[in-house]
Structure formats: structure tokens, C-alpha cells
Amino acid sequence: MTCLLRLHDVTHRFGKVLALDGLSLSVPEGAIYGFLGRNGAGKTTTLRVLMGLTPPDAGRIELFGEEIRAVPVRLKRHIGFVPQEPHFYPWMTAVQLGRFVGDFYPTWDDAEYRRLLRRLDIPTDRKASAMSGGTRTKLSLALAFAPRPPLLLLDEPTTGLDPVARREFNDQLIELQREQGTTVMFSSHLVGEVEQVAHAVGIIQAGSARFEGTVDSLRAQVRRVVGLDEATEASWLERVRGDVFRADEAAWRANVLPPGAVAERLGLEDIFLAFARTDEVRAT
Ligand SMILES: Nc1ncnc2c1ncn2[C@@H]1O[C@H](COP(=O)(O)OP(=O)(O)OP(=O)(O)O)[C@@H](O)[C@H]1O
């Protein structure tokens, strides 16, 4: 698997708050990578590091095959970004915004931008201030895809959209990603959404990666062990450490559980909840 982007042990502090705590992750080239974490887990800080807006205190970044400490402007030009809440000059129309944003990108493709506006049903002559939230979010997608960036970062882009608009947005993201072959990193705290769009998933908690892999491997590997009595639980959990919670199929079948215990399969929602409550899952 070729990775377009890797973070190694990246740390960032805001004063006393340790926002990123030795974060390591790998984003496969050409995939949609769902970056899942609770509020405050460190998703936005990670994306800001990748946009070159927040230089990390420590750690290494590998991006487009280069190893760097912080993301320089020349690489930023090859990264598209869709923010949580897009802010446009309210008096500009979609066409005017295209001209404005296009000036920042040497690879801006105006014909592609016009095609995207038509495709996403975005009015060309209406001011941004008169667009609905859903249309503004789609506009930020068109602006992000028009320069055909090899890497696109989306920071909880569907926040504030109703379920229908969210589904439409995500369907369009999947289609455009497929057409252009873009590598996409998509942050969200909505498990169902990540399940819908992502080929690979990274779960971040308190600034550290807790899991990385495909959605299927996440389902196959993570289980909740029930049926342990208190005395067994303490010694057994100590003995097996994290392995059993992240074992492969064969290890599960090899019956590593103590008598009476059962390893339950979980839905993705429950897996995420289990990761969020550190005491239930001993991973990594
Ligand atoms: N500018 C800042 N100054 C101080 N602390 C900050 C700042 N930005 C973020 N933090 C803190 O860093 C941690 C990570 O925040 P971050 O915004 O990256 O999380 P997030 O996963 O994106 O959360 P959300 O889903 O709520 O957007 C949090 O504890 C947050 O309070």
C-alpha cells in the first residue's frame, strides 16, 4: 500500500493542553480516509497541521514523498481544504469566488469548476449570502476539487446539514473522488457517515491514534469481552494486554478467552463508543 501522507509521532500543545500526543497515521493513496474522533480529540488540529497553519512541536510528516517538519506553502498549493463552516465573501457569486480562489492555485481548472457548478446544481449568479447552507457546502466542494488537488482535507464538512443534504454531499464526494482519483482525508464524529464514505478509518482519541485499518478489519478485530468475573478480569486483562481486543480472526478462533467469557462482535457505532471509553478497549 502506497501512502500519500504519514504522520510520525506528531505532538502539538496549546499552552497546557496537549492537543496531539504522539499522533501517527498513514493515509493510503487514492483512498477516502475517515478520520473519526470525539469532540476535542484533535481532528481539527491535525488538519491544521496538514494545512501548514499549525506547525507541530515535534514529530515528522511525510507528504507527497517528502519528509518535512511542517508543511511549506509550495506543498499547501497541492492540498484542497473543505472547512467545517465555509466562509465566503458574502457579496460574491459562485463565478466570482471561482476567479478569486483560482488565483491562489496554479493548477486551477476553470472548465472543471464550471462543470462542477452544473453538476452540483449550484447557481452561478447568486450571491453566497443568498445561498442555503447545503449549497454553500457544495460550493466549497466545487472550489476544492477544481484545482484537481492530489490531496483533499475535509473538516467535518457536513456539520449543520440535514440528513438528506448530508447524504447528497457524501454521495457527490464519493463520485468526484472516484473521477479524479484524489486522496481524501475526511474528519467526522459521525460513525454512520464514515462507514458510508470511507475505505480506511483512523480513530483518534485524546490526540493519539487508537486504530487504523479498513472498516471491515475494524469490525473483525475489535470485540467486547463479556462474562468475566471480577477476579479473573483483573488478572486476565493484565496478562493478555491489548492483544485480544485487536486479534485477527484466527486468534479469536484459537479460543484465547478464559472459561465463561465471550467475545462479542460489535457494530461500528459500538466500536467507536468502546474506543471512546478507554476502559473497555485495550488497543495499540
Ligand atoms: N487555539 C486553541 N487554544 C487552546 N486549546 C485549543 C485550541 N484549539 C484546540 N484546542 C484544544 O485542543 C484539543 C483538540 O481540539 P481540536 O479542535 O483539534 O479537536 P476536534 O477533534 O477537532 O474537536 P471537534 O470535533 O469538537 O471539532 C481540545 O482539547 C481543544 O480544546
In terms of domains, do 147 and 261 share one? no
In terms of domains, do 86 and 117 share one? yes
Ligand 1: centre distance to CA 283 (Å):
23
In terms of domains, do 229 and 129 share one? no
In terms of domains, do 120 and 260 share one? no
* DSSP codes of every residue in 261-279: -EEEE--HHHHHHHHHSTT
Point out the ligand 1 atom lying closest to the alpha carbon of residue 44.
22
In terms of domains, do 154 and 240 share one? no
Distant-in-sequence, close-in-space partners of 180: CB < 8 Å, separation ≥ 6: 145, 148
Check residue 252 and give its pLDDT: 52
CATH of the domain at 135: 3.40.50.300
User: For residue 253, is it within any domain?
Assistant: yes
Q: Is the dihedral of CA 44, 13, 211, 63 positive or negative?
A: positive
Instruction: Look at the chain and report how many structural domains it folds into.
Output: 2
In terms of domains, do 203 and 243 share one? no
- For the stretch 91-118, pLDDT in tens is 999 999 999 999 988 899 999 999 999 9
**Residues within a 6 A CB radius of ligand 1:** 14, 17, 19, 37, 39-45, 189
- Look at ligand 1, atom 5, and give the residue with the nearest C-alpha: 14
| Mean pLDDT of the region 170-177 | 91
Domain that holds residue 245: 223-265
pTM exceeding 0.95: no
- For the stretch 66-89, pLDDT in tens is 998 888 888 888 999 988 888 889
Tell me the longest C-alpha to C-alpha distance in the chain: 69
